[in-house]
Amino acid sequence: MAAQQLLREWPPGYGGVERVAHELASVWGGVVYSLDAQPQRRLDPDPLPVSYKRCQLSRMAIGRLLLPMPSPALLALLFSPQPLHGHLPSPGVLILLLLARVIRPRRRVTAHWHCFLHPTLDLNGRLFSLYQWLALRVVRRLSGVLTTSPLLRQELLLAGCSKENVYVLPCCLSIEQENAALMLQVNKSRSSLPLRVLFIGRLESYKRLDWLFQALVMLSSPWNLVVVGDGPKRRFFEKLCSKLIGSNSDDRVTFCGRLSEADKLEQLALADVLVLPSDRSNEAFGIVQLEAMAAALPSLAFDLPRSGMGWVGQLPSLQWSQSQEGLADVLQRLAEDSELLSLASSQSRDRYHRLFARKVWRQHLNSFGFLQ
C-alpha cells in the first residue's frame, strides 16, 4: 500500500529531512504533504529527480512556527485510510499526526524521529523543550517510530518508547548519488600535497566552522580547505577566516557557496577528508557523511549526546576523541601519515557498503513491514 508522508519542508530540497522523505517516497509512492516552510524554494529546480506527487498545505506562520489551516488537502490527509508517516521535529506535523490518530484510531500513523533538539536557557529553548516533551509522549502512542541511528533509538527507549515499536533506519543516498560516489578512486596518491579538507553544510552558527578554522591553524603540515554551502553566517565566517588565517587566507580557504550535485561530487573527488564540526544534537545524521564515505573519504564529526553524527563515520584505524579538543590532532595525523589516510579511506568505503549502501537500506526498510 502507498503511504502518505508529512513534513515541514518541500522535498527533495537540500536538508536531511527532505532527502529522507524523498527516498522513502521513491519506494512507498503516495502523496508527500508539506507545510511549505520556504515557498520560494518550491520554485527552484529540484536537485534530484521526483517521481511522486507533492502537495503543499495551507498554513499560518507565527514566527518560525507553522500551523496547518483548514483546506480540502488537509481533510484529504486526515481522513485518508492510507498509512501516514510524519517527519519530526515540527509542531505542525506533530499536531496533524495526533489528529490523524484520533480521527481514525485503526489507521497506521508513524513518525520519523530525526533528532533531539538542543536545550538552551532562552525563551526559544524553553519552547523547544516543551515541544520535545510533548512529542515524546505522542510518539509513544503511534504505530511505530523510525530513527536514524542506534544512539537515537536508545535515547527514545530511555524516554519511554517501547523497544518493539522503534526501528533504526540510517539515511541513504539516491541511486544517482551512490553510483557517482562509488565510481571515484579509493586510494589517492598524495605524496607531499597539502591535506585537502572539505566542509559541506549550511553556514549556521551551530555548524562551528570556526572550530575547524582554529584546528587547521594549529597544524604544522600544509593544508587547504574548501567550504561548500551558504547561509546566514557566511559573511561572519569569511571575516573570521581572514582574521584567524591572515593575508594568505584566500589561497588556503575557498568559499564555494551552494553547488550543484555534479560540482559537489567534483569537490568530493578532490578532497582527502570531510569535517562536520557541529556542536548540537539538532544535527543527528549528516547525509553528506554518506556521500563522503561512499567516495572513500573519512568523515570526522563529534560524538555528542543524543546525536549519531560521531557514530556514522567511526573507523577502526582512526581512533580519536571525536571532540573539539581532538580535532587538530587527528587532522595532523592524517596530514603527515599518507598510509593512515589511505587506510581510513578504504575503511570509510567499506563501512558505507556494510551499513549504509542503498541495498542495505532497502533490505532494512522491507524487513520492518512498516506499512502493514
3-state secondary structure of 307: coil
| Alpha carbons 97 and 172: distance in angstroms, whole number | 24
Q: State the residue range of the domain holding 131.
A: 4-172+358-368
Residues 147 and 195 in one domain: no
Residues 124 and 203 in one domain: no
Is pLDDT of 190 > 70?
Answer: no
Q: Write the pLDDT tens digit of every residue in 198-231.
A: 999 988 888 899 999 999 999 999 999 999 999 8
Q: Write the pLDDT tens digit of every residue in 311-365.
A: 999 999 999 999 999 999 999 999 999 999 999 999 999 999 999 999 999 999 9
DSSP 146-213: EESSHHHHHHHHHTT--TTSEEE------HHHHHHHHTS-SS---TTPPEEEEEES---GGG-HHHHH
Residues 156 and 236 in one domain: no
Chain CA centroid to CA 332, Å: 27
Tell me which residue has cell 559537489.
264
- Check: pTM over 0.75? Answer yes or no: yes
Looking at the DSSP assignment, which residues form a beta bridge with residue 200? 228
Q: Predicted confidence band at 191 (pLDDT cuts at 50, 70, 90)?
A: low
Residues 222 and 282 in one domain: yes
Residues 151 and 197 in one domain: no
Looking at the DSSP assignment, which residues form a beta bridge with residue 7? 34
**Number of separate helices (H) and strands (E) present in the chain:** 15, 14
CA-to-CA separations, 95 to 69, 111, 300, 319, in angstroms, rounded: 12, 12, 36, 43
What grid cell was written down for 43? 520554485
Residues 86 and 39 in one domain: yes
Lowest mean pLDDT among 209-218, 234-243, 248-257: 248-257
| Alpha carbons 204 and 298: distance in angstroms, whole number | 23
* Cβ contacts of 313 within 8 Å, gap of 6 or more: 289, 292, 293, 298, 299, 300, 301, 348, 351
Residues 295 and 208 in one domain: yes
What grid cell was written down for 206? 551551530
Residues 142 and 186 in one domain: no
CATH of residue 35's domain is 3.40.50.2000
What grid cell was written down for 15? 536538508
Q: Contact at 8 Å (CB) between 209 and 237?
A: yes
pLDDT the model gives residue 88: 97
pLDDT the model gives residue 189: 57
Residues 65 and 92 in one domain: yes
* Cβ contacts of 310 within 8 Å, gap of 6 or more: 301, 302, 303, 304, 322
Provide the mean pLDDT of the chain. Answer: 91
Residues 248 and 349 in one domain: yes
Residues 193 and 236 in one domain: yes
Residues 203 and 228 in one domain: yes
Dihedral angle computed from the Cα positions of residues 139, 143, 149 and 152, in that order, rounded to the nearest 10 degrees: 20
Number of domains in the chain: 2
| Alpha carbons 242 and 253: distance in angstroms, whole number | 9
